[in-house]
Amino acid sequence: MEKLHGECATDSHIKEECGVFGMYDFSGADVATSIYYGLYALQHRGQESCGIAVSETNGPKGKVTTYKDMGLLNEAFKPEILDAMKGDIGVGHVRYSTAGSSTRENAQPLVLNYVKGILGLAHNGNLINAPELREELAYTGAIFQTTIDSEVIAYHIARERLNSKSVEEAVGRAMKKIKGAYSLIVMSPRKLIGARDPFGFRPLCIGKRDQAYVLASETCALDTIGAQFVRDVEPGEIVTISPEKGIESDKSMCIPKEKHARCIFEYIYFARPDSILDGVSVYHSRIMAGKYLAMDSPVEADIVTGVPESGNCAAMGYAMQSGIPYNTAFVKNAYVGRTFIKPKQKSRESSVQIKLNPIKEVVQGKRVIMIDDSIVRGTTSDRIVRMLREAGATEVHVRISSPPFLWPCYFGTDVPAREQLIAYNRSIEEIRQIIGADSLGYLRIDRLSQIADGLEICKGCFTGDYPMTPPTEDIRGEFEK
């Protein structure tokens, strides 16, 4: 799947969401290292920046130790940095910029010092009314340090706290103002709070390890630190974690299940396959997507292969259903990060080929079914098809484990304006010709709810039918640069 930002369009995947992780250890033990490893499990959700903020609940009032930097966790955090981060409560974040530029100032978590103490916040998602809220705050004297939605949310929580009995009440009041996709983790001096937007666009779950409670984007992060899964935070729910009362729940913002709109791309691509989101196995969803592709778009071939990593599970599902052998036809260079130096246009090196290379003896003389999770602009797909042909494949049949992208996303996924989408105003046959495949098949739209095991989902980027009215102007910051 292709990345969508201008010069980065040759990259092999679109950009992910963000990952959030919070922890409160009632025994008083330091949590920074556990947060680091929890975020490590969520690194696939964002590689642009990362950060951790911790506080000692019985320490000096208002003291928060924060460290943020650009790049990957293992690049940003050294052992000595983590050792110096003392605190039994904390929040962490890995970021990909859905709105707001990729700079150190925009790294999370955000920490506010205000009249009621401290507030640390990590946010995954995208607000559709952020510009209006930002303007409203600016005209009442707010001074912004960043260009991200998360600061707007933090300000509103801080303002509502002045007239609320508790931080969780302030979060609830702020939620009545903000619109869009958000999973939040808020750290106050003695409480850890998790909140999820009423539609449930982004995942958020609760875990427990000994005397510590955890909030995380995905269950794989709980597994990594040895925490037990407790439950998911429900769409619209606010959970408050404290030593005195354990887990408290406020469901005043919850809406009927029929209106929920979980992002289907969590199941198709974003989440790690070993995660379980809202009771549904991501691995199973991708296997089923492949099986449905085999049922609905069969073709005679010798092998089935996936474009690593996101196409692999669906390819296995296709092979299971069709009886055509699954084989690994690509080697992915695991040491190429998202920020590697891209070849100059005049040089022969292809950034796709630097990251991905076909195994000639697997594909030579074979009819190949190639499974990927999506086609955005088509530039990457056409290069991968060409690579297979150059490696000796006699036929290349492309199958995509999602429907064609026809509309932009306003809720945290960087699907761009319609004019930039290869499927816009083109038939599947025209797309097939552009990418150079022998045949092309997409997942049917009616299969989406089936791969999500019947959960209510958002299909806006495929149908244009959004769960809430989209903004009249493009609010996605750098998307159109």
Cβ pair 373, 269 in contact under 8 A: yes
Element (H or E) spanning 195, and its range? strand 191-196
Beta-bridge partner residues of 209: 212
Q: Which listed residue (8, 18, 50, 263) is catalytic? A: 18
Determine the Cα–Cα distance for residues 437 and 382; give it in Å rounded to an integer. 8
Cβ pair 401, 369 in contact under 8 A: no
50 Cα distance to chain centroid? 14
Structure tokens at 92: 């962490």
Determine the Cα–Cα distance for residues 126 and 197; give it in Å rounded to an integer. 11
Active site residue 458: no
Among candidate residues 192, 223, 188, the one with its CA nearest the CA of residue 209? 223
The sign of the dihedral angle between the CA atoms of 41, 45, 47, 53 is negative
Beta-carbon count within 10 A of 343 CB: 14
How far is the first Cα of the chain from the last one, in angstroms, to the nearest whole number? 20
Structure tokens at 26: 């009632």
Cβ pair 59, 87 in contact under 8 A: yes
Q: CB neighbours of 31 closer than 8 A, spacing ≥ 6?
A: 23, 24, 25, 54, 87, 88, 89, 90, 212
Determine the Cα–Cα distance for residues 138 and 146; give it in Å rounded to an integer. 13
Place of tokens 């404290």: 242
Cβ pair 453, 285 in contact under 8 A: yes
Among candidate residues 281, 324, 286, the one with its CA nearest the CA of residue 305? 324
Tell me the C-alpha to C-alpha distance, in Å, between residue 55 and each of 28, 85, 117, 169, 305: 11, 8, 12, 21, 48
Helices and strands (H and E) in the chain: how many: 16, 23
Annotated catalytic residues are 18
